[in-house]
Amino acid sequence: MTSPVLFQVLDTADAMKVGVATLNTPQTLNGLSLEMCELLETQLGDWQADDSIAMVILKGAGERAFCAGGDLHGLYKSMQENAGGQAWDNVHARTFFDTEYRLDYLIHTYPKPMLCWGSGIVMGGGVGLMMGASHRVVTETTRFAMPEITIGLFPDVGGSWMLARLPGGTGLFLALTGAQLGHSDCRYLGLADYTLDSGQWEDVVQQIQAESWSKDRSENDIHLGRLLRDLRAEPETLEPGPLEKHYGLIRQACDGKDFDAICSSISSWIDNDDPWLKRAATTFMSGSPGSARLCFALLDRVRLHSLADVFREEYIVSLHCGVQGDFQEGIRALLIDKDKQPKWNPATLAQATDSWVQRFFQTPWPDSVDHPLADLGAQPTRRQNPVR
């Protein structure tokens, strides 16, 4: 039976080696399961402790996706089995989010360079993996998004940390609309570091193997960065993407504290001549009103939190999403019955009030239980990868 994650160690020009982790479920667009998270966390830990490993490469099998998200089928089953139970009663959800968030945090704080080949679809759980890598590569096929509003969830996997730090309300816009970004807009927002052609993967590997690497993290960071920049055959010129083109409009609409005004502004784009803005408005208007309010409240709540504290906050919210209804209903409508007609509750933005959303921030476990992620961030780490 083929493993859902493949691991390989490559030789270089000297004694140092490179670890390569490949998400290996292309039939599901490399959707991230609990088993995949466990395998990755274990192997990354082993490579971290191995002085002969100079760096790690993270990629997805196939040409369509790096990683299109998390294992929604597994979470849906666990929610069905926990029908009528409390948030803390869903053992699978507790384990999945605990393991996934620890893996994401490990990538953010990894003590060696990590190159993420973010070609193709990078959404949801895939963003969580890519976001913390030290060297993030996008290509002409990259489709980067946090589309959780369409399934009654919210941008987790550290997504709220990332989006809350983007300028001018753009993070809230991406959360509320699930808008897809190409390579140019990813670079514009600082969500990626390098742009290469999707066909250059083999060139990247060959160049890395042909070089000599050291045990010094800083030297390897600089060396890898120069290598990736030099792979561009011509001086890099990025045509502005749709978000960059509409940045002024997005900032005017979404940079503020007035939830109703923001929702009204985005909804007005349904009649816009620009198809990208029109699609953003359509997605927002058909998405979960409860998720919209939750995204708005959460991004404001974690704006000044540390990365570890954001993961702790997201963990609480994710467990509540497993029993509040919209998450299960969103998966049903999209992936199970595939009728694409979710019955959201609350059904309108007016019903999704600030007082209603506060339930998602209440600790769901008994007083005798410590936060499962209480130890996150306790160990010495490298500087967090900034979102510029």
Calculate mean pLDDT across residues 214-235.
Answer: 91
Helix (H) or strand (E) holding 107: helix 91-108
Calculate mean pLDDT across residues 188-206.
Answer: 97
**CA 100/CA 82 separation, integer angstroms:** 20
> Which residues have CB under 8 Å from 40's CB, separation 6+?
5, 21, 103
**CA 321/CA 334 separation, integer angstroms:** 17
Answer yes or no: 330 catalytic.
no
Percent of the chain whose predicted confidence (pLDDT) is above 90 = 94
- The predicted pLDDT at position 378 comes to 84
Number of compact structural domains in the chain: 1
Is residue 166 situated within a structural domain?
yes
Catalytic residue (choose from 71, 98, 100, 148): 148
What's the pLDDT tens digit per position in 243-298? 999 999 999 999 999 999 999 999 999 999 999 999 999 999 999 999 999 999 99
* DSSP 8-state assignment for residue 338: -
Calculate mean pLDDT across residues 182-198.
Answer: 97
Percent of the chain whose predicted confidence (pLDDT) is above 70 = 96
Q: Is the pLDDT confidence value at 382 over 60?
A: no
Q: Is the pLDDT confidence value at 380 over 80?
A: no
Catalytic residue (choose from 156, 185, 244, 329): 156
Answer yes or no: 125 catalytic.
yes
Is residue 181 situated within a structural domain?
yes
Q: What is the pTM of this model?
A: 0.95
Task: Read off the pLDDT band of 168 (50, 70, 90).
Answer: confident
Is residue 145 situated within a structural domain?
yes
Task: Read off the pLDDT band of 1 (50, 70, 90).
Answer: confident
- The predicted pLDDT at position 294 comes to 98
Task: Read off the pLDDT band of 234 (50, 70, 90).
Answer: low
- The predicted pLDDT at position 381 comes to 41
Is residue 377 situated within a structural domain?
no
Is residue 368 situated within a structural domain?
no
> Which residues have CB under 8 Å from 205's CB, separation 6+?
10, 20, 57
Q: Is the pLDDT confidence value at 388 over 50?
A: no
Catalytic residue (choose from 125, 126, 159, 322): 125
- The predicted pLDDT at position 385 comes to 41
When the pLDDT of each residue in the chain is averaged and rounded to a whole number, the result is 95
**CA 129/CA 184 separation, integer angstroms:** 20
Q: Is the pLDDT confidence value at 143 over 70?
A: yes
Is residue 296 situated within a structural domain?
yes
Q: Is the pLDDT confidence value at 180 over 70?
A: yes
Domain that holds residue 159: 5-361
- The predicted pLDDT at position 162 comes to 98
Answer yes or no: 300 catalytic.
no
What's the pLDDT tens digit per position in 351-370? 999 999 999 999 999 999 99
Sign of CA dihedral 145, 152, 41, 383: positive
Catalytic residue (choose from 70, 159, 178, 290): 70
Does residue 346 have a cis peptide bond before it, meaning omega lies within 30 degrees of 0? yes
119: domain CATH number is: 3.90.226.10
- The predicted pLDDT at position 238 comes to 82
**CA 29/CA 386 separation, integer angstroms:** 27
**CA 164/CA 181 separation, integer angstroms:** 17
What's the pLDDT tens digit per position in 21-72? 999 999 999 999 999 999 999 999 999 999 999 999 999 999 999 999 999 9
Is residue 31 situated within a structural domain?
yes
Is residue 204 situated within a structural domain?
yes
Answer yes or no: 148 catalytic.
yes
